[in-house]
Amino acid sequence: MSPEELDIVFKQAVESINQHKEPFPADFLLRLYAYYKRATGNQVSPGSNKPLINAFKTNALFQTQGLTSEEAKQLYVDAVNHYFLYRK
């Protein structure tokens, strides 16, 4: 898949998550959070008012350390596809 195609598929996956109305499992959301931050190059630290949430987000980011933007985009897309395929 070309970088341009990956960008399109990534944006579609993000949109499908944003439009979904049912709640997601917390561990799934943390993975998506970390992949999204790595994929977009967003280096801003977690900004929740709750220290425990910040700790979980920081840990998720730590676990994705070393991923390239393209790898993170692909992992995000794979996680979304897997979730929607097997959630029922």
pLDDT tens-place string over residues 20-59: 999 999 999 999 999 999 999 987 888 778 889 999 999 9
Given this model, what pLDDT does residue 30 score?
96
Rg (CA), the chain: 13
| Domain span including residue 24 | 3-86
Predicted TM-score (pTM) of the model is 0.91
| Segment 3-17, tens digit of pLDDT | 999 999 999 999 999
Query: Tell me, what CATH number does 65's domain have?
Result: 1.20.80.10
Yes or no: say if 46 and 54 are a contact pair by the CB < 8 Å rule.
yes
Q: How many domains does the chain have?
A: 1
Given this model, what pLDDT does residue 2 score?
94
Given this model, what pLDDT does residue 88 score?
53
